[in-house]
């Protein structure tokens, strides 16, 4: 039974999707698990995780545009504004997407579909160093 | 320690919720795990997973109606339109719901609440054959 | 290999975020797992789970305000109204957030970020006793 974790650091330069698929797949291969589960976990509440199409970059652009319109920066609804007009919207966007993902591992690789990539979804304007935990359990 | 996976194929005929609870519960029973975790994973970015009420079919109808209004087909906000007016909205709806679910197993069954069903949430108009991975880890 | 679960009861008094971080961390410590995964599972479809900022209480207030505006009680779009004007909106809010969370465990504790708390997100007006399953797998 393997049971191993690894912390990734993902530097960000403003809102957008930052792909971490390769690093996750490499970690699974390096641990040497054939069958089991990969957990991806984001240690933040103003950035989150999504699995999205990895082919047309317009998908990432459109996804951001949708969330920006749905949860606009500087919305007067929000009281929590001390950390800037993009802070509370970032918390909401995180709640609407995912903080954790769990992906089965079969024959030594995560069972991602052909068009699936794993992304950190950064919601803040300022550069950040985001921490993501990869955890593998299996045999 | 059991550690086993199985791929389901779920044919869809347009947008809606397609229940997979029975197949998931049967898989857990067949593997023979008493305590552990069931992971349900959707290998697509234009269909997703939800756990919803399994009693009144109006809940499924209303859930679809809400997502259709929130993310309308053909929204001029979107650039990614080559695959049809329902494609980018499908990606957004997937990001707003779940690609993976993890359900504890106790006494040989997933710990679903009385009113909980596991559903594939299809977002595309055209018929598809969706692939879902079930993975069980436990003793 | 540890593989153990525990059911929490979380009484609620109307919509809001109810923190369960301490109970989850204590359960992990009591099981004595050093490395592995914690699954948190909500057995309901009108209450859900979120990981959110645990510092400024305004974040919780604003999060609720956003979801209340996005999915208003009594929306004429909904047919499923027999259980009250806040019932179908509760199902939608649950679909938009999380029913399950998976958090890696490293050195005997969940790898929560500094500002992360685990919350039950109650969406109904009436008091409820919500059931949450904690499950730990690891070594």
Instruction: Output the pLDDT for position A1.
Output: 84
What's the domain count of chain C?
1
Give the mean pLDDT of B59-71: 98
B77 vs A98: CB contact, 8 Å cut-off?
Answer: no
Q: What is the pLDDT of residues B92-136, one digit of tens each?
A: 999 999 999 999 999 999 999 999 999 999 999 999 999 999 999
For C5, half-sphere exposure in the C-beta direction (CA atoms, 13 angstrom radius) is: 24
pLDDT tens-digit series, residues A57-95 = 999 999 999 999 999 999 999 999 989 999 999 999 999
Instruction: Convert the pLDDT of each residue in A38-56 to its tens digit.
Output: 999 999 999 999 999 999 9
> What's the pLDDT band for A115 if we cut at 50, 70, 90?
very high
pLDDT for residue C1 is more than 90: no
Q: Which residues of C touch A45 (CB under 8 A)?
A: 51-53, 59, 113, 115-116
Measured CA to CA, the distance from residue A25 to residue A116 in angstroms comes to 12
Quick one: pLDDT at residue A48? 98
pLDDT class of B1 with cuts at 50, 70, 90? confident
Output the average pLDDT for chain A. Answer: 97
Between strands A47-53 and A100-106, the pairing is unpaired
**Residues B76-88 pLDDT 10s:** 999 999 899 999 9
β-strands A16-19, B16-19 pairing: unpaired
Helix count and strand count (H, E) for chain C: 3, 8
Strand stretches in chain C, DSSP E: 2-12, 16-19, 36-42, 47-53, 100-106, 109-110, 116-122, 128-138
**Percent of all residues in chain B with a pLDDT value above 70, rounded to a whole number:** 100
Mutate one of B6, B99, B102, B124 to test the A interface: name it (highest A CB count within 10 A).
B99
Give the strand pairing for C16-19 and C116-122: antiparallel
Average pLDDT, chain B: 97
Could you report the per-residue pLDDT of C75-113, keeping only the tens digit for each?
999 999 989 999 999 999 999 999 999 999 999 999 999
| A28: chain B residues, CB-CB within 8 Å | none
Q: Can you say how many angstroms the Cα of residue C79 is from the centroid of all Cα atoms in its chain?
A: 26
> C94, B15, B68, B87: which is closest to A52 by C-alpha?
B87
**Rounded Cα–Cα distance for residues C129 and B76 (Å):** 44
ipTM over 0.95: yes
Reading the block at residue B29, the tokens are: 């029973």
Angle between helices B57-70 and C87-96 (to 10 degrees): 60
What is the number of other CB atoms lying within 10 angstroms of the CB of residue B87? Answer: 23
- Give the global pTM: 0.98
pLDDT for B125: 97
CB within 8 A of C26, min separation 6: which ones?
none
What per-residue confidence (pLDDT) applies to B4?
97
pLDDT digits (tens, 9 = 90+) for C9-25: 999 999 999 999 999 99
Range of the domain at C63: 2-138
Indicate yes or no: CB of B56 within 8 angstroms of CB of C82: yes
Count of all residues that appear for chain B in the document? 139
C47-53 and C116-122 strand pairing: antiparallel
Q: At B34, which CATH number?
A: 2.60.120.460
In A, residues 44-63, which contact C (CB 8 Å cutoff)?
A: 44-46
- Cα gap A139→A2, rounded to integer Å: 6
Between B1, B70, B100, which is nearest A103 by CB? B100
Instruction: DSSP for B52-101, please give it.
Output: EESS-HHHHHHHHHHHHHHS-TT-TT-S--TT-TTHHHHHHHHHHSBSEE
Residues 6+ apart with CB under 8 A from B95: A50, A52, A63, A96, A97
Find the helix or strand (DSSP H, E) in which B24 lies: helix B21-31
Identify all chain B residues contacting A104, using CB atoms and an 8 Å cutoff.
5, 39, 41, 133-135
């Amino acid at each position: 039974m393997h049971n191993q974790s690894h912390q990734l650091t993902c530097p960000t330069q403003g809102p957008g999707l930052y792909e971490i698929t390769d690093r996750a797949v490499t970690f699974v291969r390096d641990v040497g698990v054939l069958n089991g589960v990969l957990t991806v976990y984001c240690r933040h509440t103003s950035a989150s995780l999504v699995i999205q199409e990895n082919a047309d970059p317009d998908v990432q652009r459109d996804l951001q545009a949708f969330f920006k319109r749905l949860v606009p920066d500087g919305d007067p609804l929000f009281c929590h504004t001390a950390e800037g007009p993009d802070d509370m919207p970032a918390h909401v966007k995180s709640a609407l997407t995912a903080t954790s993902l769990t992906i089965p591992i079969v024959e030594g690789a995560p069972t991602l579909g052909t068009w699936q990539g794993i992304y950190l979804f950064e919601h803040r304007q300022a550069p950040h160093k985001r921490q993501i935990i990869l955890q593998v359990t299996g045999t």
